[in-house]
Amino acid sequence: MLTLQVQGLPPGQHGAHVHMTGKCDAPKFESAGGHWNPADAQHGLDAPAGQHAGDMPNLVVDDNGRGTLEYELKGATFAGLMDDDGSAMVVHASADDQKTDPSGNSGDRIACGIFKSG
């Protein structure tokens, strides 16, 4: 179960995904790599053959720039999230359409955070 709480983001819906590397080098956060996808599945919660382990519903940010999303990652383990290179939570500029590879047409990466234990 993952809970994401954000503040200071633009209002609206935003794609939110777990990415495979625990790095968040600004400004584009490309160092986080692609979506966490250990089963080599298609992207999106609506993918007929199953989703990436890091796929999540859209994050809804209110007019005050705050949003919360709670979701149980499908096929995920804590050990997988915390492997040798870690993983990252990435928020995108636009909503995820939940079907288009590789990221649901969700646009640029606008926020990034690294998973840490303890």
Per-residue pLDDT for 77 more than 90?
no
* Residue with more model confidence, 117 or 104: 104
How buried is 60 (Cβ within 10 angstroms: 0-12 exposed, 13-18 middle, 19+ buried)? Answer: middle
Q: Which residues contact 83 (CB under 8 A, 6 or more apart)?
A: none
Average pLDDT, the chain: 93
Domain that residue 42 falls in = 1-118
If one counts the domains in the chain, the total is 1
Q: What is the CATH number of the domain that holds 9?
A: 2.60.40.200
Span 26-60, pLDDT tens digits: 999 999 999 998 888 889 999 887 788 899 999 99
* Residue with more model confidence, 78 or 96: 96
- Confirm whether pTM is higher than 0.85: yes
Instruction: Supply the pLDDT for residue 14.
Output: 98
